[in-house]
Amino acid sequence: MNAASDSLIRLDGVTKTFGSTTALKDASLQVARGEIVVLLGLSGSGKSTLLRHLDGLEVPTAGSVQVLGEQVPALKGRALRALRSRVGFIFQQFELVPSLTVLENVLTGSLSTVRGPRLGLWGYSRAAKLRALEHLDRVGLLDRAYQRSDTLSGGQQQRVAIARALMQKPDILLADEPVASLDPESSDQVMALIREIAADEGLTVVCSLHQVDLAISWADRIVGLRHGEVVLDTPTTALTKAEVMEIYGRVATSTAEIRAVQVELTETAVDVAQVDREAAVAASAAVSRASVS
Ligand SMILES: Nc1ncnc2c1ncn2[C@@H]1O[C@H](COP(=O)(O)OP(=O)(O)OP(=O)(O)O)[C@@H](O)[C@H]1O
Ligand SMILES: [Mg+2]
């Protein structure tokens, strides 16, 4: 079996423009079944746009997007819904229905297989309700099933959103900055939970993040985006210090990180030449830009 045929996700030369803005530029990426990939990059680098192409929320201006063997931009109607039912999506703002209970929110995850609108719990089968309760148990919130979802903490709401995504029995889980609104402790819990569930269910995960340190500790592989271009694609196992510095240099996500890279490069024994000069140059350029603005 070659790598290409085992890829659940395959982008080839994807460019996406919005008017005069180029959100993605000739981006290519393959993700194999079971991989846990982080998209890392500054605000505006194209992370959300890339994720949105994977379930057909955006159509590329050029290039091809293949997911689960389907050419996504060609899908319409029922075929597009069928693809989306196999791709779970969680968001920074959780996007629960605030006035519904936790259990009802989780059940809405099964709507792609239920016809017509549902009112309360009545429209769902007993089997669906049992499954929803199992998923709530899985994310540690079984005791909150009948509570209104807007009374939960942010971390709890994101765990409900994960349970809702699981109702679809997805093959792929996409997460767009899933912990950007959470405190560090809740972030760690949510990220750990996503990994644990992905391993148990054999999910393939593509998750956008801002934080380089979190990406390195959490992902199997990091794909760095800058101005819509893929500027980095590296496994996270056994990274040397120089390689970690290179990641910061290429996709540092805050001015503080860029400064830290500079300090590190000058203060430690890491040989700049060995670190990839391009990364060092990118870091200094970014510092100059940041100090100008
Ligand atoms: N629907 C749209 N209309 C116009 N411009 C858009 C649209 N969606 C994205 N863009 C632009 O495309 C670029 C990439 O945006 P995108 O949201 O993908 O970045 P991001 O990496 O997700 O940023 P953030 O970290 O802030 O979420 C930005 O310049 C953005 O303004
Ligand atoms: Mg985004």
- Is the pLDDT score of 54 beyond 60? yes
User: Range of 167's domain?
Assistant: 7-227
Burial of 260 (0-12, 13-18, 19+ CB in 10 A): middle
Residue nearest to atom 30 of ligand 1 (CA): 44
E strand or H helix that includes residue 62: strand 62-67
Residue 38 lies in a domain: yes
Question: Residue 112's pLDDT is what?
Answer: 63
Pairing between β-strand 7-18 and β-strand 221-226 as defined by DSSP bridges: unpaired
In terms of domains, do 265 and 138 share one?
no
- Looking at residue 250, what is its pLDDT? 74
Identify whether residues 195 and 244 lie together within a single domain. no
pLDDT band (50, 70, 90) for residue 1: very low
47 has a pLDDT exceeding 50: yes
Structure tokens at 290: 């940041």
Same domain, 272 and 203: no
Do 199 and 246 share a domain, yes or no? no
- 247, 206: one domain: no
What pLDDT score does 166 carry? Answer: 95
Asked if 100 and 176 sit in the same domain, the reply is: yes
The pLDDT of residue 110 is above 80: yes
Q: How far is the CA of 38 from the centre of ligand 2 (A)?
A: 13
Q: At what angle do helices 241-251 and 255-267 cross, to 10 degrees?
A: 140
Does the pTM of the predicted model rise above 0.75?
A: yes
For residue 22, give the nearest of 32, 10, 14 by alpha carbon.
Answer: 14
Lowest mean pLDDT among 192-196, 278-282, 289-293: 289-293
Does residue 48 have its Cβ closer than 6 Å to ligand 1? yes
Last residue of a domain, one of 227, 253, 280: 227
* Strand pairing class (87-91; 172-176): parallel
**pLDDT (tens digit, 9 = 90+) per residue, 72-108?**
999 999 999 999 999 999 999 889 999 999 999 999 9
93 lines ligand 1 (CB under 6 A): no
Report the C-alpha gap between 13 and 83 in whole angstroms. 22
Higher per-residue confidence, 157 vs 110: 157
In this structure, is residue 233 part of a structural domain? no
pLDDT for residue 53: 98
- Shared domain check, 212 and 254: no
Average pLDDT in the 167-180 region? 95
Q: Do residues 158 and 191 lie in contact, with contact meaning Cβ atoms separated by under 8 Å?
A: no
Q: Tell me if 211 CB under 6 Å of ligand 1.
A: no
Q: Looking at the structure, tell me whether residues 248 and 222 fall in a common domain.
A: no
Asked whether residue 264 is assigned to any structural domain, the reply reads yes
Asked whether residue 159 is assigned to any structural domain, the reply reads: yes
Please give the tally of structural domains in the chain: 2
SS3 state at 4? coil
Domain annotation covers residue 1: no
Q: How far apart are CA 96 and CA 213, in angstroms?
A: 28
Specify the residue for token string 């496994």: 235
Residue 209 Rama label (left phi>0; alpha psi -120 to 50; beta): beta
- Tell me what pLDDT residue 64 has: 98
Ligand 1 pocket, 43 CB below 6 A?
yes
- Find out whether the beta carbon of 23 lies less than 6 Å from any atom of ligand 1: yes
Gap between the Cα atoms of 163 and 29, Å rounded: 28
Q: Is residue 208 part of a domain?
A: yes
The answer to whether residues 201 and 277 belong to one domain is: no
Residue 68's pLDDT is 97
Domain holding 191: CATH number?
3.40.50.300
pLDDT of residue 239: 78
Of 200, 227, 254, the residue at which a domain comes to its end is 227
Q: Note the Cα 211 to chain centre separation in Å.
A: 12
Q: Is residue 2 part of a domain?
A: no
Q: Identify the band that residue 266 occupies on the pLDDT scale cut at 50, 70 and 90.
A: low
Per-chain mean pLDDT for the chain: 86
The last residue of one of the domains, among 227, 256, 283, is: 227
| 3-class SS of residue 2 | coil
Enumerate the β-bridge partners of residue 233.
223
Please count the other Cβ atoms lying within 10 Å of the Cβ belonging to residue 114.
14
Q: How many whole angstroms separate alpha carbon 183 and alpha carbon 194?
A: 16
Is 155 found in the same domain as 132? yes
Contact 232, 224 (CB under 8 A): yes
SS3 of residue 8 by DSSP: strand
Same domain, 40 and 176: yes
DSSP state of 10: E
Q: Are residues 201 and 103 in the same domain?
A: yes
Using most ligand atoms within 8 A of CB, pick from 14, 39, 45 the residue to mutate for ligand 1: 45
Q: Tell which wins on pLDDT, 274 or 256.
A: 256
